[in-house]
Amino acid sequence: MMIREVPQNFKLTYSQEDIAYRVYKMAGQMRHWVKDAQVNDGQQVLAICILRGGVFFFADLLKQIPYTVEPSFCRAMSYSSESNTQSEEFRLVVEPAEMKGRHVLLVDDICDSGKTLKHLHAYALENGAKMVKTAVLIHRNHAASVYTPDYIGFEYTGTEWFAGYGMEDKNHNSNFPEVYTIPCQ
């Protein structure tokens, strides 16, 4: 196995095993909804990966859902890669399959301020989605958050920055398979 160089200030917070267990549990929580969409409405859930950060969680989650789900993708950007801070400007590039009349599942790595999911949830409804649900691996639970996802892997109350499993530290190390926290600078 290749040895990974982990920066000294990174603290291991969720191991690969922790993540795999929570992803499996979340797939179990949503499976009735996914099945009902198919049986009662005759349609697959449209699962939309919020790129870039959601990519690892999205792939792992969909593989654990025991019914057919249609994958789609969109891009949302609000954090600066230079400074790990959120800008006022919210850039959204969406080219998902038709949302009209669909059961839509938005999938992201983290819900932090909640602005990304709030925007996308509203966007999906504006575009005719019949029902919108949201899933994240991590929900930062703080008073100023403007959104609470339906399915949450881990609740976190601290202010440390996350890196790994899709989450980037100044544009680095998002490909680490574990989740690390970095003390606030």
Ligand X SMILES: O=P(O)(O)OC[C@H]1O[C@H](OP(=O)(O)OP(=O)(O)O)[C@H](O)[C@@H]1O
User: CA quadruple 74, 110, 13, 172: dihedral positive or negative?
Assistant: positive
Specify whether 112 is catalytic: yes
Q: Which of 60, 108, 109, 112 is catalytic?
A: 112
The residue sitting closest to ligand X, measured at its beta carbon, is 53
User: Which residue, 60 or 168, is less far from ligand HPA as judged by CB?
Assistant: 168
User: Which residue, 35 or 115, is less far from ligand HPA as judged by CB?
Assistant: 115
Q: What DSSP state is assigned to residue 98? A: P
Among 52, 59, 70, 161, binds ligand X (CB under 6 A): 52
Q: Is 105 in the site for ligand X (CB under 6 A)?
A: no
Q: Is 30 in the site for ligand X (CB under 6 A)?
A: no
The owner of tokens 């990174």 is 10
Q: Cα–Cα distance between 132 and 169 in angstroms, integer?
A: 30
Q: Cα–Cα distance between 148 and 168 in angstroms, integer?
A: 22
Q: Is 50 in the site for ligand X (CB under 6 A)?
A: yes
Q: Which does 161 bind (CB under 5 to 8 A by kind): ligand X, ligand HPA, none?
A: ligand HPA
Tokens of 66: 């025991």
User: Which residue, 13 or 116, is less far from ligand X as judged by CB?
Assistant: 116
**Least distance in Å: CB of 10 to ligand HPA?**
12
Q: For the range 76-85, what are the long-range contacts, defined as Cβ-Cβ under 8 Å and sequence gap of 24 or more?
A: 76/50, 76/51, 76/116, 76/119, 76/120, 78/115, 78/116, 81/168, 81/170, 81/171, 82/170, 82/171, 83/170, 84/161, 84/169, 84/170
Q: Cα–Cα distance between 29 and 35 in angstroms, integer?
A: 11
Q: Which does 77 bind (CB under 5 to 8 A by kind): ligand HPA, ligand X, none?
A: ligand X
**Least distance in Å: CB of 160 to ligand X?**
14
Residues near ligand X, by CB under 6 A: 50, 52-53, 76-79, 86, 108-116, 168
Catalytic center residues? 112
